[in-house]
Structure formats: C-alpha cells, structure tokens
Amino acid sequence: MGAVEDAVDAALPVLRERPSALVTDVDGTLSRIVARPREASVEETARVSLRRLAVLLDLVAVITGREESVARGMVGVDELTYVGSYAMDSKRGLSFAAVAPALALVEHDLRTMPCVEIERKEISFALHFRNCVDAERVGAELSDLLQPIALETGTKLLEGKLVIEVAPATLPDKGTALTGLLLEHEIRGAVFVGDDLADAEAFSQLRNRRTRGQTPGLCIAVVDAETPQGVRDAADLEVYGVDDVERFLAILAERLAALR
C-alpha cells in the first residue's frame, strides 16, 4: 500500500490548486489488459470512486486511443469527460480511409501470423500479438513489416504492450490531447495516470508545463512486468497494476472528501 499512499500524498497538494483535474488512460490503467481487447472492462469499485471524484474535482477526464463511445461504454461513468482517438476522430475530418491502404498491404503477410488479431477502429487499426506463443519474436517481425508500409502510406506506428497501432500521420498524441484539455478548462493543477508509451507523451507535456511554471502537475505510471522503461523514466511516481489504481482512486476520493 506504500506506493499508493505516496501517490495520494503527492496528488493532494496538486489537486488543491483550482481548477484541478484528474486525467487517466483506460487500458492497463482503469481496465486490465486482456487477450481480447473488446472484452476489457472497468470494475465497479473504480466507477464508484470516479463518480465521487467527479463531484470533488473540477475535471475528471479520460484520454484514450479507443473511440470516445467505446471508452464511455467501458468506463460507464457519464460524469467524466471523454477524449477518444487521442482527441481526433472522424468528426474532425479523418476516417478509416487514411489507414485503409496500410491495412490492405499488411493483411496478406498476416496470413502467416494467425495468432495476430486485427482490431479495426474508427480511424486506425491495431495488431495485437498477445496471444502469440513467441510474442517477442512476432512483435519484432510486425515492426519490421510495418515500418516501410507506414512510410509508403503516410501513416505512423504507435507501439503499446504487445500491440502496434497504425494511425494517420496527423493524429495528435496524448500529450497534445492533455494540453488541450488543460487549456480549455483553465486547469491550474493536474494529475495524469497512465501505463504505456502513448501516456509517456502526456507525462512529458505535463512535466514541461510544470517546469515552466504553467501547471502544477503529477505523473503517475501504472507499471507491471511489460512496462517500457520510457514510461517509468517519464513519470514522477509508480503504482503497480490496476489494483493499485483502484486503491489510489478510492483513497484519493476519501481524502478529498475529508478536506471538504
């Protein structure tokens, strides 16, 4: 419990700045990573804490690579602000057509990798290799396969935990999405919680704003055996796994309520 208590102790002075915000990722942070992404879910204990925090803070938000509607259904808390597809979805001028040529090129080669699961999203697609027996080898082969395809089709690769996502080159990263939220809501104190390399971009943005004296902030990495070192290096503090996140949210809600 020490790491969780330390995270709460560090978050409280940041969130006393008003307006204040708690922003979080979904997969690997609020929900456990599972073999089939469509089966991922958020526990009711986390939902209860998020509802309480939405009343206690000026903003509680989710930034995710999933579509906004999917994330909203997974988390199941209407009081939150949801930013899907890294803050750019089809309503902002992009569609799946931007990555369709890349998918067409890669599908032929994927016939030799039946363990790889294709997840088609609104404006991107992800290749999950968690179910492969030799996942490390398959991941390296996928990376080698996709890099020239990305160059040819004007797309970019987003690497996660045993997954590579192919997205439009103009897709914003989570750091851009987080900065947009902070500016839109005039946030003066922010805590961001995430677990992957995409979240490390948000960590970096928040730490840069803190260094420049723009926004007091705290970056909390959710770590496990698969966590890239870059995530740990970019964070201020670590908690271990979704169980710790659930405890962090519950204790934070209790402590903030007591301060009120």
The domain spans of the chain are: 2-88+172-259, 92-168
* Distance between CA atoms of residues 216 and 138, nearest Å: 41
Position 8 pLDDT exceeds 90: yes
Higher per-residue pLDDT: 34 or 103: 103
| Residue 122's pLDDT band (cuts 50, 70, 90) | confident
Six token digits for residue 187 = 């946030």
CATH C-level class of 2-88+172-259: alpha beta
Query: What are the φ and ψ backbone dihedral angles of 219, each rounded to 5 degrees?
Result: -110, 120
Strand ordering across the sheet containing 189-194: 81-83, 59-63, 20-24, 189-194, 217-223, 237-240
Task: Look at residue 213 and tell me whether its pLDDT is greater than 60.
Answer: yes
- How many beta carbons lie within 10 A of that of residue 178, not counting itself? 32
pLDDT in tens, 46-72: 999 999 999 999 999 999 988 889 999
Predicted confidence (pLDDT) per residue in 158-197, tens digit: 888 899 999 998 888 899 899 999 999 999 999 999 999 9
Interval 143-172 mean pLDDT: 92
CA-CA distance, 52 to 249, in Å (whole number)?
9
Domain 92-168 has CATH 3.30.70.1020: yes
Answer yes or no: are the C-beta atoms of 240 and 13 closer than 8 Å. Answer: no
| Cα–Cα distance, 43 to 86 (Å, whole number) | 23
More reliable by pLDDT, 2 or 155:
155
Question: With pLDDT > 90 as the criterion, what percentage of the chain qualifies?
Answer: 78
Which phi and psi (to 5°) does residue 119 adopt? -110, 110
pLDDT value at residue 95: 82
Cis peptide before 19 (omega within 30 of 0): yes
**Fold match, 2-88+172-259 / 92-168:** no
Q: What is the mean pLDDT of residues 119-144?
A: 92
Percentage of the chain exceeding pLDDT 70 = 97
pLDDT band of 90, cuts 50, 70, 90: very low
55/35 Cα distance (integer angstroms):
34
Section 196-206 average pLDDT: 94
Residues composing the chain: 260
**Alpha-carbon distance values, 20 to 91, 101, 208 (Å):** 28, 42, 17
